[in-house]
Structure 1
Amino acid sequence: MSDIKLPVEVEIELKKVSKVAGYLWQREWAERNAGNISMNLSSFFDKNEIIEKTKGDEFVAFDFPKDCAGFVIYITGTGCYLRDLVDMLEEVSCILYINEEANGYTIIWGGNRPNFGPTCELISHASIHLFNSKHHPENLAVVHTHPLELICMSHHELFDNEEELNRQIWMMCPEVKVFVPKGIHCTPYALSSTASLAKVTMDAFKTRNVSLWEKHGATATAPDVEKAWDFLDVANKGAKMLMMCWAAGFKPAGLSNEQLTELEQFT
């Protein structure tokens, strides 16, 4: 293992990861090994130093998109329980360097447990970070989790009408419209850990703040993990309040279309 020292900025981001992982567990959004978190940390590291200090380190073959060459990515491990990120960060997650041919990676930090490997969603995370680097370079974090009420909404007929689903969730309170201004993408089902799932998720982030994976979970991208958590937290609150009204047997009055339009000045 290389002796690369983590920049202070990276240590700050890793503390945020631990904090958000605790939130996800407390919310029951991260059962067993559900969910994963990653960050593009390339801007915080000296690539030449990494190349020099990782000579002779174990190399793992992996077929990344070619433009991911040189990326430095923090990512959780396969089979990782997100609750363990609170106090076992180095055991259940890692920082990896994608080589210049983009045909493999070297772990430069973490992964300190037997048979460690990055999450099986590595291709999705790497592809989203590549998309962000080209279209939204401010977005460094990706959080995938299982928000209960949003998943329920992905089984509802509203999932087939994205505009109406967003209108009904936005109308539940002003904060939902203000803090998730682009709304939720109803992302069609794709098998986990596949390039197909990566593609539909990237398509989602072209227009929306949150990608709601059909019958699976939700994913958000933002400048850091706390802001990604905020997108998911607020979106799920809108879905939860909507379902509470339905469960109580009434259709919520909700904010009017005019009131929702008025709120756009704050987004």
Structure 2
Amino acid sequence: MQAILSSWFVQGMIKATSDMWLKGWDERNGGNVSLRLTAEDVTPYESDFYPQPRHEALSQPMPALADCWFIVTGSGKFFRNVQLDPADSLVVLQVDSDGKGYRIFWGLTNGGLPTSELASHFQSHIVRMGVTHGRDRVIMHCHATNLIALSYVLELDTAKFTRELWEGSTECLVVFPDGVGIVPWMVPGTDTIGDATSEQMKHHSLVLWPFHGIFGTGPTLDEAFGLIDTAEKSAEVMVKVRSMGGKKQTISTEELIALGKRFGVTPLEAALRV
């Protein structure tokens, strides 16, 4: 067995994708995950690398990611199968020194490419590297059922959508005080939606793709998963509240402010004013 299969990053991707599928967020080949690695992370497993790594061009240059390593889910791969065959479902790649392409060092044993949302992931990685001074290393996208459902009935406004989720569960303001960014509906797998998503990632760790899914980020796979899980749980609560006739009482603005002070976070001001 290849040593890389027992590495923390391959095992982490197996767990994350399995958990996401079990949650019902990633039907068929839906969803994608990328984790930025360091040279120190991958060096112990060089003996498992392809002797002649395949080269692929990027749809646009990414010089800010020059020489960066990533492990990414593959395009068209089913999350439910990652645990069965991680070497076919995942890919370890390194961006070229000029940022114009990348080389595949491990994975995709039956051929194929990294996720079709690679441009969106890379554009968001660049932004989050800057915003968090390199702390955020994960971009996670999934089709979280209740967040998608709410995108059909709530106004697609960052402040209003965020406020609804904050009121859905007390922990939400603490977990994502920066709120949920929203982009218009766009064709997925394009540089255009990647640009729009990364623009929202400058201000928000969660970005909603209406009628499609959610993007989340964080320093670890657990943190990114937990962020989405928290928002999705609140969305589920609010879907049920609406089915029961709507709110009769809720968390007040004053209580949200007090919550932020207690946990030392700064809530999105626009969401407090709704």
TM-score (ref. length: structure 2): 0.86
Q: Report the aligned-residue RMSD.
A: 2.3
In the aligned structure 1, how far is the partner of 2:158 from the partner of 2:42?
A: 42
Question: After the TM superposition, which residues 245-256 of structure 1 pair with which residues of structure 2 at under 5 Å, given as runs?
Answer: 245-256=241-252
Aligned partners of 1:92 and 1:116 also within 8 Å:
no
Q: 1:45 to 1:172 in 2, by over 3 A?
A: closer
Q: Which amino acid aligns with 2:91?
A: C
Aligned partners of 2:121 and 2:194 also within 8 Å:
yes
1:95 Cα deviation from its structure 2 partner: 0.5
1:80 Cα deviation from its structure 2 partner: 0.7
Please identify runs of 4+ aligned residues in structure 1 that moved more than 6 A: none
- Secondary structure of the 1:174 match is coil
Give the corresponding residue for 1:77.
Answer: 74
1:65 to 62, 66, 70: 62
- Secondary structure of the 2:241 match is helix
In terms of mean alpha carbon deviation, does 142-151 or 125-134 score higher?
A: 125-134
1:223 Cα deviation from its structure 2 partner: 0.5
1:43 Cα deviation from its structure 2 partner: 4.9
In the aligned structure 2, how far is the partner of 1:220 from the partner of 1:44?
A: 25
Aligned partners of 1:40 and 1:73 also within 8 Å:
yes
Aligned partners of 1:154 and 1:186 also within 8 Å:
no
Question: After the TM superposition, which residues 43-192 of structure 1 pair with which residues of structure 2 at under 5 Å, given as runs?
Answer: 43-45=39-41, 56-63=52-59, 64-113=61-110, 115-136=111-132, 137-159=134-156, 161-192=157-188
In terms of mean alpha carbon deviation, does 142-151 or 78-87 score higher?
A: 78-87
Deviations, residues 137-195 of structure 1 (Å, cap 9, x unaligned): 10001110000010111222422x32122112111221122222222112222221111
- Secondary structure of the 2:127 match is helix
Number of paired residues? 257
- Secondary structure of the 2:171 match is helix
1:93 Cα deviation from its structure 2 partner: 0.9
* Long gaps (5+) in structure 1: none
In the aligned structure 1, how far is the partner of 2:19 from the partner of 2:50?
A: 34
- Secondary structure of the 1:59 match is strand
In the aligned structure 1, how far is the partner of 2:175 from the partner of 2:3?
A: 36
Give the corresponding residue for 1:227.
Answer: 223
Identity of aligned residues (%): 24
1:55 Cα deviation from its structure 2 partner: 7.0
2:201 to 190, 195, 205: 205
1:209 Cα deviation from its structure 2 partner: 2.2
2:16 to 17, 20, 27: 20
In the aligned structure 2, how far is the partner of 1:197 from the partner of 1:65?
A: 16
Aligned partners of 1:146 and 1:218 also within 8 Å:
yes
1:253 Cα deviation from its structure 2 partner: 1.3
* Long gaps (5+) in structure 2: 266-274
